[in-house]
Amino acid sequence: MTDFVLLYKGGSMAETDEERAAVMDAWTSWFGELGSAIRDRGNPFTETARHVRSDGSIGDVAASGIATGYSIVQADSIDGATALAKGCPVLTSGGEIEVYETFPVM
């Protein structure tokens, strides 16, 4: 089994208390479906992001490129991790998910 980072991009925020409760229920349900495959439920990111380039320059990340959160799952393959990602609630609010395989080096 390998760890995979699910990097969330986009999606809209719930506006009312009822919508926020429904979204939290959807996340809780999805994490429950993942069972032992979920390694780290992750967290959302703020809208402030910076990049540091190899030349040392620092700049703001364009809004279209900002990641909005992450989770880490365990799966047999990137295809398996991608299949797990298909149930993620961020997809229902217009977001997308990038799936990255990790490997231990430390």
Residue 56 domain-assigned?
Answer: yes
Model confidence over 47-104: pLDDT tens digits?
Answer: 889 999 999 999 998 877 789 999 999 999 999 999 999 999 999 989 999 999 999 8
Share of residues in the chain with pLDDT > 70 (%): 100
Q: Return the CATH number at 83.
A: 3.30.70.1060
pLDDT value, residue 29: 96
pLDDT value, residue 64: 76
Share of residues in the chain with pLDDT > 90 (%): 80
Residue 16 domain-assigned?
Answer: yes
Q: Domain range holding 54? A: 2-101
Does the structure show a pLDDT above 90 at 14? no
Residue 106 domain-assigned?
Answer: no
CA-nearest of 86, 8, 1 to 39 is 1
Domain count, the chain: 1
Would you say the pTM of this structure is higher than 0.85? Answer: yes
